Structure 1
Amino acid sequence: MNYKKNSVALGIKVALFGSVAMAMLVQPQAWAQDAAEQGAEAVEKIAVVGSRSAPRSVGESPVPIDIIGGEEFTNQGNSDMLNLLSTMVPSFNINAQPISDAATLIRPANLRGLGPDQTLVLVNGKRRHRAAVIAFLGGGISDGAQGPDISVIPAIAIRQVEVLRDGAAAQYGSDAIAGVLNFQLKNASEGGMLEAKWGEYYDGGASDQFAGNIGLPFTDKGSANFSFEYRTADATSRSVQRDDAAGLITAGNTAVADPAQIWGSPQIKDDLKLFANIELELSKDKSAYAFGNYAKREVEGGFYYRNPTNRSGVYAGSPVTVDGVSYDTVLVGDLTPDDGATCPALRLDANGIPIASDLAAITADPNCWAFTEMLPGGFTPRFGGTVYDASIAGGVKGEWFNDIMFDMSATYGRSQADFSIKNTINPSMGPDTPTEFDPGTYVQTEIGLNLDMFREFDAGLAEPLVLAGGVEWREDIFEVKAGDVPSFTVGPLASQGFGIGSNGFPGFKPEAAGVFTRRNLSFYTDASAWVTDDLMLNGALRYEDFTDFGDTTNWKVSALYNLTDSISLRAAAGTGFRAPTIGQSKVINVTTAFGPNGLEDQATLPPDNPISIQKGGKPLKPEESENFSVGTVMNFGTTHVSLDYYNIKVTDRLSQTSPLELTADDIAALLAMGVADATSYSSILFFTNDFDTRTQGVDLVVSQDLDLGRGRSKLNLVFNWNHTKVTLDPLTTNVNDTKVRQLEDNLPNTRGSLSFTHEENSWRALARLNYYGSFWEAHLDDGELGIDEGSAVTVDLELGYKILPSLELVLGAQNAFNKYPDENPYGGIAGAKYPTTTPYGFNGGMYYVRAVYTF
C-alpha cells in the first residue's frame, strides 16, 4: 500500500493512538529486565527475573509465561536448540526432516499446533529475523512456512528462555499468534565455562560438540560476554530396502545400492555458532548495548531413489511392441538428430532388466545415449547446502526528563542458504551432464528501527498506572540468486523427453532470480495497572501498515485477579495477524515429491504467476486471529500449579495448496500465453489464504519441592492437550482431505513430561518421563498411506559428579530404553522403516558423556 495515498488514514489512526506520544509509552519486551529491577509492573512482560526455585509458570502475570534457566538447556544430552525446547515445552513440537528439500537445512517447529512462522522469536527482547529457507515439504502443518532459525542459538549463550504461551500480536506485531519465545543472553562480566560433549545413538550416528562462554569487563562500567559452539553430527540410517530396488537386485541388476534410499537424520558438518552480548553504562541514567551472532553450517541429507526402469525424464521410455510382444523401454536419446538415423529401442524384460542385445547396440552406437550406460542401477541424489546466519542489534536506553524511560534500537539480520545437490544429473545434457550442481541461493534480510518508551503515573489506584508504547519501522528483503548454468540449462536432449535441470532440485533460472522488498511502519500502545490490591488490568493496541497489502489494527485485554493469597485467576482476549512473507509471495521452486502418479516434479509458483492464476491463484493477504485464554495460578507452600485453557481462531490461514495436476489442456493454454516452461511440471502449488482453523488446548504446569531428608529435590509436571479443527469451503479451496487431516492429526493431541531432579554435595541426578500421544501420518503425503501411530513413553536419565569444584563429569541417556515407533507398514514403497514425522524421532536412544569446566 502506498504511504502517500494513505496519509490521511494513517494520520487519523496515529491521532487515535495519541497516547503513544502524549504518554511516552514503551514496548514491554525491551524493558522487561529493567522494569523488574526497578520494581515496575511491566505489562505483558516477556522477560521475568526470578530465582531458579520459582515455578516455571510465572504467577504474577495475566497470561502464562514459562521461564527456563540456561542450565536446564546445558544439562541435556541433545545439542540442538530445537530438540532442547521440545523437551522443555510440551506444546513445542519438532521432528526429523530426512527427505524434505530445503527443510532439511532448517527444520520447522510448531508451538501449540500452529505453523513455525506463527510464533514470534526474540533475542534480548528484539525481533529475530526469519530464515532464508522456506519449508516446501512440511508434513502439512509446516508446508510453506518461513520461520526463524532457532538452531543457530548455542545453548551455552543462554541465561534463560521465556516462553509466552499466548497471542501477543498487539504488543509485538506479525507472527505472534501462537506465542513468543524470548532468548535472554548471558551478560556476566566475569567467569565462564568450557564444555566438551560426545554422544552416539545406540544404533549408530555419533555427534560431538565443543562450547564455551566467557564474561569480561568492558571498561569498569560494562560487560562483554562471548559464546561459541562447534558441532558435527553423523548421518543416520533407519531404512529398509525398497521393494522395487530389491526386485531389481533379485533379477540381476548388481548396480542397485542397498539400501537404495536412506531415511535418517542428515549429516551436519562444521556447525559453528558465535554470539556476543555487550553492555556499557554511559551515565547514571543511560546505558548502551549491542549483541549479535554469526553462524555457519553445512548439511547434507538423502533424497528419493530414481528407479532405472521408470523414472520419468531420465529412464522411462514409451512402450513398444515387437513380434506381438509389448515391452517397456528405457528412454534413448539421439545425440545427432539431424543425420537422419534413428536410435533403436532399449527394451526391458519382465524383471525390468535391459535386454542385453539392445543395450549392446545402444552402447556401441556413439550417436545414441541412455542413462543406463552411466547409472545402470538408478541413482539417489544427495541434497543439502550451507546455511549462513548473522545479526547485530544495538541501542541506547535509560531515563529522559520527567521519569520517562526510553529504548532506541536498530537491528539487522541476514540468513543465507546456498543449496547444493550431488549424485544427480541434468538429463537433457545427456553424457555431458555434471553430477554435482549449485542450484542457487535464498537470502532473507531484515532491518528494524525502534523507539520504545514508558512512564508510571499516579492515578489514585493501588499501584501506579504504567503507560507504554512506541513506534517501529521494518524492512524485509528476500533475494533469489540463480544457480550455476548446468543446474537449469535446457540441454540438447530436452526435445526428446529428457528432463531439464539438476534432477531432484532444478536450479533457479535467471528469470526467477531477483530482490523483493517490503516495508512496514507500526505504532503501539500499552496500559497496565493494579486497580486494587487484587486486580490487575492490561490493555494493548497496535496499528501496522505494510507497503504490499495494507494496514491492520489489533488489540488485547487481559486481567489477573488474586482470589486469595494462594489462588489467582487470569484471562486474556485479543486479535492478531501474520503477514505473508516476501518469500512466500515471490518464490519459485521445484520439488520432487510423491504424487498421484508416483515421483513427480512439483513447482511452487507465485500466486500471481499465469499458471497459478489459471488454477485459482489470488493475491495473498494476512492471516487474522482471535485469541482467548483463561486460567488459574495456585501456590501452596512449595507447591506451584498453573492451569490454562486457550482458544485460537485463525482465518484466511496461509499455506501451500495441495498439488494441482496440470492437464494437457492446461499446458496448451499456458504455452499459448507464452509460458515456455509449462511443459516442465507435472503439478503445481502456490501459496493461498484458503482455509480457517480453530486450535484449542490446555496447559498444566506443576512444580513441587521435595524434602527427602538430604540434598535438594524437585518434581515437575508439564502437560499439554491441543486440538486443531480445519474449516474450509469445498467449492473454492485448493486444499485436499489429506492436508486437512495432516493439519488436524499429524501432531499428538497430548504431550507431557514428569521430571525428578536431586542435588546433593557433589552429585546431581535427573530422571524424566516423556509422554507422546497418538498421531496420524500421511506417509509420503499420501492419504491412502495413512499410519495411525499409538502413544509412547520415553525416559531420559542423567548423572553428574564434580570431581573438582570447577570440573564436572556427566553421563546420560536420552530415550534410555531405545524406544522406536511402530514399524512403517508401507516401508517397502520408499524405504522408510518408521513413520518419519514421529515427534520423538526415529533414531532410537542416545547415550552421551560431558565434561564441564567452570571458572
Structure 2
Amino acid sequence: MVSYHNSRSAARSQKSYSYATVSALLVATTCLSTLPTTAFAQAEDPAAEETIIVTGSRREARSVADLPAPVDIFSAEDLSRQGSPDVANLLRQIVPSLNVNDNTISGTASGIRPVTLRGLSPDHTLVLVNGKRQHRASDIPTFSGGISDGAQGPDMASIPAIALKQVQVLRDGAAAQYGSDAIAGVVNFIMSDAPEGGTIQAKIGSTYKGDGDSYQVAATWGTRLGENGFVRFSGEYSDTDMTTRAVQRGDAQALIDAGFEDVPTPATRFGSPAFKDDIKTFVNMAVENGLGGEFYAFGGYAQRTVYNDFFYRNAADRQGVFTDGAGNYLVGDMTPDDGVTCDGGIDFGGTGIVNDPIGVNDPDALARLAAASANPNCFVAQNVHPGGYTPLFGNKIKDIYGSLGMRGDITDKLSYDVSFGAGRHSMHIFVGNSLNPSLGTGSPVDFKNNGKRHQSEMVFNADLNYAADVGFHSPLNIAGGVQWHREQFEVIAGDPETYLAGVLATQGFLVGEESYPGYSPAIAGTFSRRNISAYLDLEANVTEALVLGTAVRFEDFSDFGSKVTYKLSGLYNITEDFGIRGTYATGFHAPTPGQQNYSGLTTELTTDGRLIQSGIIPATNPAAVAVGGKPLKPETSKSFSLGFVYDAGWLSLTVDYFNIKMKDRLTQSASYALTDEQKAALVAAGYLSAVDLGSVRFFTNDFSSKTQGVDVVATMPLDFIPGGKTNFSLAGNWTETKVTSFDPTDPDELLSVTRVLQLEKNLPRYRGNASITHTADNWRALARVNYYGKYTEMHVNSGGLRIDAGSEITFDAELGYNITPAIELSVGAQNLLNNNPDINPYRFILGSKYPTTSPMGVNGGTYYARVQFQF
C-alpha cells in the first residue's frame, strides 16, 4: 500500500458555533473510537524521516530546488532548539520574513498573538495542519501595533511543538491553490506520523532578570495500527510567569510624593503576559481502509489563561472615575432623591450643580474625599482605589479542531482525498482590580465575565490527482477539487454589571466596566457565511530542464459574490545545479463575519497622553457611515516573484525577489469624535457606554499598498571541521511596504498619518540570522546570531509618541549531551549577551521601559535547561 501520511494540500475552512463544536468533538472522538483493539509493534520505518514537500505544489517534491516557488522546511529538531514553549516564537527565530511581537498591554492580542509574513497582515497568511485549512481565532486585535489591527488569523499557539514532524513555509501567493487568505504565503504544520516510539521532555527557564519563570512537560507516543497504520498521541503542559520591563510613571510618582497611598509600583507592568494552565494536545492517525487506501484522522484541543496589565488609572485625573475633567474630584450620590447632598457632589435638592466642588489641587481635597466616602450614600472611587488602579485583563482561551477523511489510489495514476474538518476557537474575557464607576458602591472590583467570543468553522474537501502522459518529460499532474465551508462568529453578552448604567451614569461617571466594558445583549449576536469553491491545478516537467505550472480557482461567497484567482509558475534549470524560477499570482482575502460585525469598547491614548473611552463599531453603523464608513469588500492582490536556486554538494542557495500589490486593504480607520446626537443614537442601539465615548473607529477598505522584498536562504556543510558533522545556515530578508493611496489633504481620507507610519515602518525592513550546528559522538552544539533592522513605533498607537528605534543583534546558543543513548540533557540561552532594545524616550509617561513592539522582544536574555528521554 502507498503511504499517504503527508497528504496533498487541500483547503479547509470555517463553521458554525454549535455545529462546528459538535463536529470537532466528533472528529476528535473518531480519532480514538476507530482504533483497533490490538496494535502491532514493528521495527521503525526507515522512510518515516524522509522529507516530502507537499506545500506549494501538488506534485510531491524532495528538495526545495525542485519547486518553482520558495518553500522553507524546518524539522522538529530545528524548532526544539529554543527555549520558548510557543510555536510562533519558535518560527520567529528561524524565519526572517515572519514576525510576531510580544504585544505587551494589548488586551486580547497579548494572548493570541498575530503572526505576519512578508510584512502583510496575519490573515494574509494561510495556516494549514497536515495540509488542511486551520480555522481562525476568535480574536480581532485592535491594539497590537498597527499592522495586525483588524486582522483575524489562526491561533498558532494551539499547536503543540512536540507533535510536529516539520513545518513547511511557502513564501509566495497561493490563493488559486488554497483559497482566500494565501496572499503572503502558507504555513503548513506537518504532524509526526512516526509509527512507534515516544519522547518525554521536561524544560525549565527564566529571564536573566529573574522573572518570567517557565516550565514545560511534554510527551509524544505512537504505535502501529495493523501492518501499515499508526496512531500518535502528543501533549504539552506549560506555565509561564509575567515579566516586567517598566519604570514608574511620572504621574504615579507624583501621587506618591503627594501622600497618596496604595499607588502600584510600577504602575503598569509592561512586559510579557502570564500564561497559566497552558495545555495542548494532538492525536494523529491513519489506518488501512480496505479499499487500497487509508482512513486518516487528526485533531487537537488546547486551552490557556492569559493575564496582563492594562494602563494605570490615575487617582487624580482619570476622567469619569476619579475626576470630572474640569479639575475637580467626582463625588457620586447613590440616593439622589433623599434631599441630602454629598459634599463635593451635585445638589439634587436645589441648583442641580456642584455648589462646592473638591478641586484636585485643593489642600483639603483628600480630607474632604475621606469624609464624603464615610457616608454610605456617597461614593468616591478613591475609597475603593485610593492610589488609582491598574486593571488586570484576563482571557481564557479554548480551541478544539479536527479533520477526518480517506485517501488512496483509484488507479496507478489517479488518487483521491476526501475529508471533513471542523474547529471552534473561543475566548472568555474577565477583568480584575477595576470598577463600573456608574454603579458606585454597588460595583464589584473583579468582573468574572465581560463577554465571550466564538469562531466556528466547518469544511468539506474532495480532491483528485491524476498523472497524464501527454508527451512531456514527466506526466502532467492534473489536480482538481471542490470545497464547501461555512464560518460563524458569535459574541455572547457579559454579566450585567460589566455593561449596565448605574445611578451615577448621569453624574459624570463612566458606564460599564471601565477598562473593557462588557458586551451588552444589543452588541451580542451570531454572524455567519458560507462559500463553495472549485480549483484546477496543472504542473509538469515540460522538458527535463523546464517545469511549468498553472492553477485557477473559483470561489462563491454568500456575502460577497464570486471571485476567480489564478497563478502561473515556472522553473528553468540552466545547469544541473543552477535554475531560475518565478511566479505570478492573483489573490484575495474576504473580510470575515467577525470583521464585518464586531463591536467593542476600550480605552486609547490621545496625542497629549490622556486615556479616553474608544469604540470599535461596524462600518455599516450609522455613526460610522456618517464619517465615511462603507460595507466591507474583499481585499485583492497581484504578486510576482523572480529568483534563482543553486543546489550543489557544497552549497544550497535560493534568492527570491517578491512584489505584492494590494487594493482595498482592510485596516482600522482613524479615530472620530462623536456628536451628542451620535452618542444618543448609539446608546439607543444598545451601546450603553457610548455616552462616555471620546471617539469611534471602524474597519475600512481604504488604501492600496505595494510590498516588495528579497529572501535569501543558504545552507552549507562545513566538512573541513574535524571531529563531527558541522552545518552552516543563513536566512535573510528585506521587506519594504509603501501605502500608495494615502492623501492627507483629502477630507474623506479614512486613514491617519499614524496608521500609515505603522503599516510602512513598524516592522524592520531588514532581518536575518546565521547559525552553525555541530554534532559529534554524544554531544551537539548550536550557535546563532540574529539581526533586527531599524523600525518605527507609534508608542501605544499614539501619533504624538513616535519612536525611531535602531537595529539590534542578539546571539543564541544551545549545548546538548547524551547521558545515555536514550537520555539527553541540554542547556541554552536566547539573547545570550542580554541585549535590550533602545530605551523608550517616553517611558515616564506610561511606564514602558522599551518600545512595546520591539521585534526582538523586550525581556532581554533568557536561559533554559531541558531533559529528554526517548523510548
The normalised TM-score by structure 2 is: 0.90
Instruction: Measure the CA separation in 2 of the matches of 1:37 and 1:850.
Output: 23
Shift of 1:349: 6.2
Q: Which amino acid aligns with 2:768?
A: G
Report if the CA contact (8 A) 1:622-1:652 is conserved: yes
Cα pair distance change 1:769/1:729, threshold 3 Å: closer
Q: Which amino acid aligns with 1:651?
A: K
Q: Secondary structure at the match of 2:65?
A: coil
Report if the CA contact (8 A) 2:329-2:359 is conserved: no
Residue 219 of structure 2, aligned match among 198, 212, 217: 212
Partner of 1:627: 639
Match runs of 1:837-848 below 5 Å: 837-848=853-864
Instruction: Measure the CA separation in 1 of the matches of 2:770 and 2:512.
Output: 51
Cα pair distance change 1:39/1:178, threshold 3 Å: closer
The question of 1:387 aligning with 2:397 is answered: yes
The question of 1:689 aligning with 2:667 is answered: no
Q: Secondary structure at the match of 1:83?
A: helix
Q: Which amino acid aligns with 1:837?
A: T
Residue 811 of structure 1, aligned match among 818, 827, 835: 827
Partner of 2:622: 610
Q: Secondary structure at the match of 1:59?
A: helix
Shift of 1:656: 1.3
Q: Secondary structure at the match of 1:283?
A: coil
Shift of 1:329: 1.5
Residue 543 of structure 2, aligned match among 525, 529, 532: 532
Q: Which amino acid aligns with 2:555?
A: E
Cα pair distance change 1:195/1:674, threshold 3 Å: closer
Partner of 1:755: 771
Instruction: Measure the CA separation in 1 of the matches of 2:807 and 2:69.
Output: 30
Shift of 1:43: 8.8
Partner of 1:258: 265
Partner of 2:865: 849
Shift of 1:366: 3.2
Cα pair distance change 1:225/1:353, threshold 3 Å: farther
Report if the CA contact (8 A) 2:100-2:115 is conserved: yes
Shift of 1:655: 1.2
Instruction: Measure the CA separation in 1 of the matches of 2:499 and 2:51.
Output: 61
Shift of 1:583: 0.5
Instruction: Measure the CA separation in 1 of the matches of 2:842 and 2:686.
Output: 42
Instruction: Measure the CA separation in 1 of the matches of 2:569 and 2:529.
Output: 32
**What's the CA shift string for 1:686-735, capped at 9, x where partnerless?**
11101111100000011100111220000001000000000225323211
The question of 1:745 aligning with 2:761 is answered: yes
Match runs of 1:303-318 below 5 Å: 303-317=310-324
Q: Which amino acid aligns with 2:288?
A: E
Match runs of 1:699-714 below 5 Å: 699-707=711-719, 708-714=721-727
Residue 29 of structure 1, aligned match among 5, 9, 13: 9
Match runs of 1:651-730 below 5 Å: 651-664=663-676, 666-667=678-679, 678-707=690-719, 708-730=721-743
**What's the CA shift string for 1:69-90, capped at 9, x where partnerless?**
1111112222211110001100
Report if the CA contact (8 A) 2:501-2:688 is conserved: no
Report if the CA contact (8 A) 2:55-2:71 is conserved: no
Shift of 1:351: 5.4
Instruction: Measure the CA separation in 2 of the matches of 1:41 and 1:605.
Output: 43
Cα pair distance change 1:39/1:436, threshold 3 Å: closer
Report if the CA contact (8 A) 2:607-2:801 is conserved: no
The question of 1:336 aligning with 2:347 is answered: no
Residue 444 of structure 2, aligned match among 412, 419, 434: 434
The question of 1:358 aligning with 2:338 is answered: no
Match runs of 1:410-809 below 5 Å: 410-437=420-447, 438-596=449-607, 598-664=610-676, 666-667=678-679, 678-707=690-719, 708-730=721-743, 731=746, 732-809=748-825
Structure 1: gaps (5+ residues): 1-25, 320-327
Q: Which amino acid aligns with 2:119?
A: G
Report if the CA contact (8 A) 1:824-1:832 is conserved: yes
Instruction: Measure the CA separation in 1 of the matches of 2:511 and 2:683.
Output: 17
Shift of 1:36: 13
Report if the CA contact (8 A) 2:499-2:689 is conserved: no
Instruction: Measure the CA separation in 2 of the matches of 1:285 and 1:739.
Output: 56
Q: Which amino acid aligns with 1:29?
A: S
Partner of 2:25: none
Shift of 1:356: 4.1
Shift of 1:223: 0.3
Comparing 256-265 with 572-581, which one deviates more in the overlay? 256-265
Report if the CA contact (8 A) 2:83-2:829 is conserved: yes
Report if the CA contact (8 A) 1:309-1:352 is conserved: no
Cα pair distance change 1:38/1:300, threshold 3 Å: closer
Shift of 1:340: 2.9
Instruction: Measure the CA separation in 1 of the matches of 2:315 and 2:180.
Output: 48
Instruction: Measure the CA separation in 2 of the matches of 1:751 and 1:39.
Output: 27
Cα pair distance change 1:435/1:591, threshold 3 Å: same
Q: Which amino acid aligns with 2:184?
A: A
Shift of 1:463: 1.1
Cα pair distance change 1:678/1:592, threshold 3 Å: closer
The question of 1:241 aligning with 2:252 is answered: no
Shift of 1:336: 1.4
Shift of 1:503: 1.1
Shift of 1:335: 1.4
Partner of 2:353: none
Among all aligned residue pairs of Structure 1 and Structure 2, give the percentage whose two residues are the same amino acid: 46
Q: Which amino acid aligns with 1:317?
A: D
Comparing 532-541 with 217-226, which one deviates more in the overlay? 217-226
Q: Secondary structure at the match of 1:660?
A: coil
Q: Secondary structure at the match of 1:313?
A: coil
Q: Which amino acid aligns with 1:439?
A: N
Instruction: Measure the CA separation in 2 of the matches of 1:418 and 1:396.
Output: 35
Match runs of 1:122-137 below 5 Å: 122-137=128-143
Instruction: Measure the CA separation in 1 of the matches of 2:362 and 2:574.
Output: 75
Instruction: Measure the CA separation in 2 of the matches of 1:454 and 1:356.
Output: 78
Shift of 1:285: 2.3
**What's the CA shift string for 1:147-182, capped at 9, x where partnerless?**
000011111100000000000000011110000000
Shift of 1:341: 3.1
Aligned length: 813
Shift of 1:343: 2.4
Shift of 1:664: 3.9
**What's the CA shift string for 1:259-286, capped at 9, x where partnerless?**
1111011111100000000101123621
Cα pair distance change 1:36/1:152, threshold 3 Å: closer
Report if the CA contact (8 A) 1:43-1:538 is conserved: no
Report if the CA contact (8 A) 1:595-1:659 is conserved: no
Q: Secondary structure at the match of 2:381?
A: coil
Instruction: Measure the CA separation in 2 of the matches of 1:359 and 1:503.
Output: 21
Q: Secondary structure at the match of 2:9?
A: helix
Comparing 370-379 with 83-92, which one deviates more in the overlay? 370-379
Q: Secondary structure at the match of 2:665?
A: strand
The question of 1:820 aligning with 2:826 is answered: no
Q: Which amino acid aligns with 2:65?
A: G
Report if the CA contact (8 A) 1:46-1:164 is conserved: no
Q: Secondary structure at the match of 2:522?
A: helix
**What's the CA shift string for 1:467-488, capped at 9, x where partnerless?**
1110000000111111011111
Cα pair distance change 1:636/1:27, threshold 3 Å: closer
Q: Which amino acid aligns with 2:734?
A: W
Instruction: Measure the CA separation in 1 of the matches of 2:568 and 2:81.
Output: 38
Shift of 1:353: 7.1
Structure 2: gaps (5+ residues): 1-5, 12-46, 346-356
Report if the CA contact (8 A) 1:167-1:574 is conserved: yes
Comparing 667-676 with 427-436, which one deviates more in the overlay? 667-676
Cα pair distance change 1:41/1:307, threshold 3 Å: closer
Q: Which amino acid aligns with 1:574?
A: A
Residue 307 of structure 2, aligned match among 300, 305, 313: 300
Partner of 2:379: 369
Partner of 1:155: 161
Comparing 177-186 with 700-709, which one deviates more in the overlay? 700-709
Report if the CA contact (8 A) 1:30-1:124 is conserved: no
